[in-house]
A and B are shown apart, each in its own frame.
Chain A
């Protein structure tokens, strides 16, 4: 190889033949482009959301009447177990990873993720794990011990189904660990020169916090599941009381992951709507640093609250007090975020399009889940409502009213970037209205049900709860209906929607500074920061500047420089100044 050839090959971007999307079938291949992988994640997880939603509606159909008249109690238990497992491990957690995959390299001006092949591996663990889980329905022995899978119950119900469940969750956990490593390295090492951590979009901050939790707690879940598998298959008695094992140890290990997991499920969407709100409110995000650092605070505190799931289980009295206080303290950083979002919206010029409506709906419904979360932290009250529909209501307000509305806000906001086409606004608003009504109708009555005495995970209940349950069931049908406008809108608009242009929302973050959809290597040349990510309203009335902002260093940068601007700060010494060094 001559010197010139060597030089040439060294400078051609490292990419495989299949890197980047050229044809539709690239989306079904082992592609290493982060944008393809991001869309693979989002579409796959949405399909699982639909499956999980069908299971939820079957559960609610059974609960329409007090008797077991729709499915047998065994099948009922499998339905809610699979519903929870699919929604958590195959929808909300990987959907957050999907957005992160698509957006993070674009937001920090990188060409791709740090480890593109690892990224593809992480994604391609998900479809087999999901199919494996659903296949348990076909073998007629679906897992039915709840998504918590507490021993000894999980050891005495169907063995095959339980083993499948463990295997599937282990695969999904591995996938999310691989993803988390990739996000951390990408955000830390591949920002464009001049973007310090305090100029990153807030979504990057939330993914740092999320990835840290994933790396610290997921291995503990893996440990718990492997020990459970030994008990189940090899007859050991780590958790099995008949051999002197302790089922409470499993609960500690399980919740050491699964409580932080709720932050894995919500923090990415805290980040997403911190992006959506300022763009459509046309105002800088209020309290950038407060929002950024509160993510880290939540991530840290989230690791020391797990035992609040065990207040009525086997922990001593004084320990309950410790976990009560740590749990309640999480309300403070969460409150900071909520107030900051409200202040971001306050006094802006709100474009009430679908993305903005979902983002504001997120704040409004998440608040209800947050408030009931503080109530649940109070030990005496939690002892009353633990394992009841009050908890079901709380977690659905957080995970549906929070995460799912956040995902929809993200879909509507970045759809033009991903596809180059606009979604239909009318059907978007119909989708929003149906979703908000449906979700409150489904989950609000559950608060009262739980407090009055309806415990969760039951197929038969006291007839006095029939009216409220009927309302919940009707609400769940409405939620099912609400997804149709979205699905049809998304498919139709992807093919025939009006062209979006590069920056339809006049946003300032870097992902809007390239074509829609972005080229394979994202940016033609290295993007340059001329404004901070949220410097809206800095040059009011001068639309030209707003439309043309960054991309090149030729303009008058000082004009647009806000307090968060790169131009006001020293370049970050940790980030390589020469773009070539980043390869």
Chain B
């Protein structure tokens, strides 16, 4: 290898480092960070972008430099030097990416743990007890029978789902008579993957629980504490919120870009995420998983407001619900009728809604 003189290598190295560090912090590629979790994710992204920028500059620089510096001169028909390899160099460029990748993996693990993704209790919730394992045929029997609930119900999907269903508004929207809720997935203790509480809040209940249900093509949000059913998601700033979600027809995905959080809402399953809103503002709650032709129109307002404004909003909603006799309780309404009050919130036209339900197979 014809490595340029060490001074040039040093200068180029310094320049690449400075440019990478600068771009890693000043890229402007991400939207507002509106939750505590988003800050952590952004830190990870900035670190990865810094390393990536460096690698990008080195590889592209080497290619472009080669194309200019080493192009064949018109009168030169000879070959290049026969260099077949260089073991120390190859070890170096195997080791460096390996170390970088390990570093990113550890950093990601840390961030993931901090936002509450790695919940070690999930693993220990396997429903088969130690004694049962020793019994011959227990493993097969477990797959044949409806597995009994585990001793610690806090992570069990069915219990969470039952809790969510206690709210009559939620029960209606969730289509539970059509789509049975899964109990335990085979071999894994808990069905629903979660972004749970961050480690420092382990074991505490969230300040506010909200049930979210995705259906073609709307998000229906219920507040079990106050019985509100609405098409907009409002949360008070600074308080930990838990969203329990499911879907009543096809897979949807709950995504607020400013929260950096996304979770599929899966029919027959209960999944949840927890987060702490941080920045006041109005954002969009988007469905990120393809759910049909009007997938792109499936979004709604997501509002982070002061606790006072949130209280006021709740009271208004309660008043509206009472005057409308809580549409969701009425089992006879069709989805179109049901959605009618929320059309303006959902940003879709009444004709579209009409069309949806005629096209729906």
Q: Chain A: residues with CB nearer than 8 A to chain B?
A: 68, 72-74, 76-77, 144-146, 150, 152-153, 156-159, 241-242, 244, 246-248, 281-284, 286-290, 312-321, 324-325, 328-329, 331-332, 335-336, 338-340, 342-343, 345-352, 360, 363-364, 367-368, 371-372, 374-375, 378-381, 383-384, 386-388, 447-448, 451-453, 455-462, 535-538, 540-541, 543, 546, 562-564
Contact = CB atoms under 8 A, between A and B. Distances in A.
Interface residues of B, number: 102
Given A312-B253, A536-B80, 14 more contacts: A73-B293, A156-B250, A316-B189, A336-B90, A342-B63, A345-B67, A350-B66, A350-B72, A371-B55, A372-B52, A387-B288, A387-B289, A453-B31, A461-B296
B144 to A, nearest CB: 15
12 contacts: A73-B296, A153-B250, A153-B251, A157-B361, A316-B190, A345-B63, A347-B2, A364-B63, A375-B45, A380-B108, A387-B253, A451-B29
A90 B360 CA distance: 31
Nearest to B43: A380
B79 A345 contact: no
A347 B84 CA distance: 12
B34 to A, nearest CB: 12
B303 interface: no
Contacts of A73: 293-296
A152 B291 CA distance: 9
Given A282-B80, A331-B97, A386 B267 contact: no
Contacts of A329: 98, 101
B191 interface: yes
B76 interface: yes
A326 B178 CA distance: 38
Contacts of B122: 316-318
Given A156-B361, A317-B117, A347-B70, A324 B190 contact: no
Interface in B211-270: 249-251, 253, 255, 257-258, 260-264, 266-269
Interface in B51-79: 52, 55-56, 59-60, 62-63, 66-67, 70-73, 76-79
Contacts of A321: 109, 112, 118
Contacts of B329: none
A343 B1 contact: yes
Given A153-B292, A316-B190, A246 B264 contact: no
Given A318-B122, A453-B284, A380 B63 contact: no
Contacts of B179: 241-242
B48 A320 contact: no
A535 B71 CA distance: 19
Given A152-B267, A351-B72, A387-B289, A546 B79 contact: yes
B41 A349 contact: no
B29 A383 contact: no
B111 interface: yes
Nearest to A384: B260
Contacts, number: 322
B115 interface: yes
Interface string B277-310: 0000000101111111111110000000000000
Contact of B63 (A76, A145, A363): A363
A445 to B, nearest CB: 11
Contacts of A320: 112, 117, 193
Interface in B1-21: 1-2
Residue from B44, B94, B250 whose CB has the most chain A CB atoms within 10 Å: B250
B129 interface: no
A316 B188 contact: yes
Contacts of A347: 1-2, 66, 70, 80-81, 83
A318 B123 contact: yes
A324 to B, nearest CB: 6
A52 to B, nearest CB: 19
Given A316-B190, A380-B112, A453-B284, A563 B84 contact: yes
B118 A317 contact: yes
A380 B97 CA distance: 20
A224 to B, nearest CB: 16
Contact of A380 (B93, B120, B260): B260
A408 B284 CA distance: 42
B59 A342 contact: yes
A452 B118 contact: no
A388 B30 CA distance: 13
B105 interface: yes
A481 B175 CA distance: 50
Given A73-B294, A312-B262, A317-B122, A455 B286 contact: yes
A379 B41 CA distance: 10
B180 interface: yes
B82 A562 contact: yes
B171 interface: no
B94 to A, nearest CB: 6
B178 A242 contact: yes
B44 A381 contact: yes
A363 B52 contact: no
B182 interface: yes
Contact of B79 (A282, A332, A388): A282
Shortest 8 CB-CB contacts between residues of A and residues of B = A458-B296, A453-B257, A537-B79, A241-B268, A348-B80, A73-B293, A283-B80, A537-B82
A113 to B, nearest CB: 31
Given A320-B117, A380-B44, A453-B286, A459 B296 contact: yes
B293 to A, nearest CB: 4
B201 to A, nearest CB: 16
Contacts of B83: 283-284, 286, 343, 347
A545 to B, nearest CB: 11
B70 A367 contact: no
Contact of B41 (A72, A380, A455): A380
Contacts of A387: 253, 255, 262, 288-290
A74 B294 CA distance: 8
